[in-house]
Amino acid sequence: MRNISHSGILPGGRSRVLAAVILLGLVGLAGRAAYLQGMHKGFLQQKGESRYSRVVEISAHRGMITDRHGEPLAISTPVESVWASPQDMEITTSQIKKLAEIIGMNSAEIQKKIEGPQRDFVYLKRHLPPEIAARVVELNMPGVFLRREFRRYYPAGELTAHMLGFTDVDDNGQEGVELAWQDDLAGKPGSRRVIKDRKGRIVEDIESIRVPRPGRDIALSIDSKIQYLAYRELKQAVEASKSKAGGIVVLDAQTGEVLALANLPVYNPNNRGKIKSERARNRALTDVFEPGSTLKPFTVAAALEAGRISPDTIFQTAPGTLTIGKATIRDSHREGPLTVTQVIQKSSNVGSAKIALSLPPETLWEILSQSGFGVSTGSGFPGEVTGRLRPHKTWRPIEQATMSYGHGISVSLIQLARAYTLFSAEGELKPVSLLKLDAPTTGERVISRATALAVSRMLEMVVRPGGTAPRAQISGYRVAGKTGTAHKLEGNGYAKDRYISTFVGYAPASNPRLIIAVMLDEPSAGQYFGGVVAAPVFSQVMAGALRILSVPHDAPSNNIVSFPAARELGGDV
């Protein structure tokens, strides 16, 4: 008997096994589908959305910087930047060449960028003008896009460069006020989710993830009109005296606000590609120098406070020299017996040294320290220096003597201007502010009102006939101030024919409104005394600023007394 098998028909056992395997497979697939779509659906959504969904950053508008009257000093203007998504790019070599021509690049440079390791996002060109950006759009190239950004613009250009500083290509502050108040000005960028087609073009906005927060506007203490005046007069003086550099600071004597600040050499912050570090320094805050005879009023104030002298106390300055150890102090002009007032008026180094040596070193040091020397003004400006005031315990007699007329101590121009609030504010040292204040601030009392007024009367004599700064006189106003002419440091000593020339003063002397400090570095046109090269700058700027502020006169309009020729003016080296 033969066994007969039917082809294609499995035995009962095998068919049941096959059916079980198929059933298990279906159950597994169903479970996997349920897991992926139910418990692990985020993974699938992420993979799907990565094909068409993108998160786009939205730049925040940087806050505007204005002067105290709302005049724009720094604004952010919208610009377009060209960027590419290399993985979405479908452009030919000829298209790359055309793009390169439009945005001012070469084809090889573009090719290098899109072939780099960054495959999702790469900038091709930043900050394009609107007309150039429009031409890029007309190319309609897949994977090439425009991004709205902001570029900083400074309407006043070089006039306010050192105060404002500048931003980088990403609109982040790099110098000056832009850096100091970066967090307030920058704001916070936002973001939104969009849908893109296969060519990378945005076809739909899905949602706003984070709304951009614009930066805060900042009002500086600067007065644009006074700033222009100060810059113009300083520039003319630097050119006329052939100085290496120069600086000027204008303070509100009542509030300590900086109404103007300028330095030379300068730069244009709108042309960032050519900014040199030596031009970018805000010398009035970041550089130091020996103040020379502008420090003599503080020596006198210390002695008056200590009760060692009165304005009429007489000191013998003949024969115009004073020898201490191996060193000799000299006056630029021989005088004779001088009152303390005349020591300031004629700027006698010998007289000042004798006054200083009548005091304990600690007494002089305390006045200088409390006047703000050796410490920051607290302006908040990046890189502001503290200057150098050595501990009094290290002073030798010759150092105490030379310290009295501004040698052996280093200060910044803004420190020097601030220190004179001691005399303009009747004994109070005012804080300095680069921001506009809503109300006057209270200063710290350093000397008595009587001492401050006594020194102020001496400073008025400096600009009168017989003083070192008649060129600082102003028609219709009483002026108080002091000249300074100091040899520059060179190695371990002083240069023989290189000088720092300064003048610091305030007006109207009867009720001070403004303080102005002027410094010229290495004037080389023949004249170098502070009363000759720096005092006229003070006079021109102060006269103009008082008119701008409508400050009432406190003297007759014919109060200016003729002064001798420049060669006859006394010096204070």
* Predicted pLDDT at 136: 82
* DSSP conformational letter for 567: G
* Predicted pLDDT at 256: 95
* Predicted pLDDT at 504: 98
Considering the candidates 224, 243, 293, 412, report the single residue annotated as catalytic: 293
Q: For the whole model, what pTM was predicted?
A: 0.84
Residues 6+ apart with CB under 8 A from 283: 162, 245, 247, 263, 413
Taking a C-beta distance cutoff of 8 angstroms, is the pair 340, 315 a contact? yes
Q: What angle do CA 534, 537, 543 make, to 5 degrees?
A: 140
Helix (H, G, I), strand (E, B) or coil at 465: coil
How many residues in the chain?
A: 573
CA distance 297 to 64: 41
CA distance 59 to 516: 41
Q: Which residues of the chain have pLDDT under 70?
A: 1-12, 35-58, 116-119, 191-209, 563-571, 573
* Predicted pLDDT at 565: 43
Taking a C-beta distance cutoff of 8 angstroms, is the pair 513, 549 a contact? yes
Element (H, E) at 308: none
* Region at 322 (left for phi over 0; alpha for psi -120 to 50; beta for the rest): beta
CA distance 505 to 538: 8
CA distance 388 to 500: 17
List alpha helices for 288-437, DSSP H.
Answer: 296-305, 340-346, 349-357, 361-370, 397-403, 413-419, 421-424
Q: How does pLDDT run across 523-571, given as a tens digit for each residue? A: 999 999 999 999 999 999 999 999 999 999 999 999 998 765 433 455 5
- Tokens coding 287: 């550089």
Q: Which domains does the chain have, with CATH numbers?
A: 55-101+118-217 (3.90.1310.10), 224-267+282-568 (3.40.710.10)
Q: How far is CA 188 from CA 148, 307, 329, in A?
A: 15, 59, 60
CA distance 375 to 492: 24
Residues 6+ apart with CB under 8 A from 208: 190, 191, 192
List alpha helices for 376-534, DSSP H.
Answer: 397-403, 413-419, 421-424, 449-462, 530-533
Is position 293 annotated as part of the catalytic site? yes
- What is the 3-state composition of the chain as percent helix, strand, coil, each rounded to the nearest 5? 40, 25, 40
Residue 219 burial (CB count, 10 A): 17
Phi, psi of 410 (to 5 degrees): -120, 140
* Predicted pLDDT at 323: 95
Residue 385 burial (CB count, 10 A): 17
Element (H, E) at 559: none
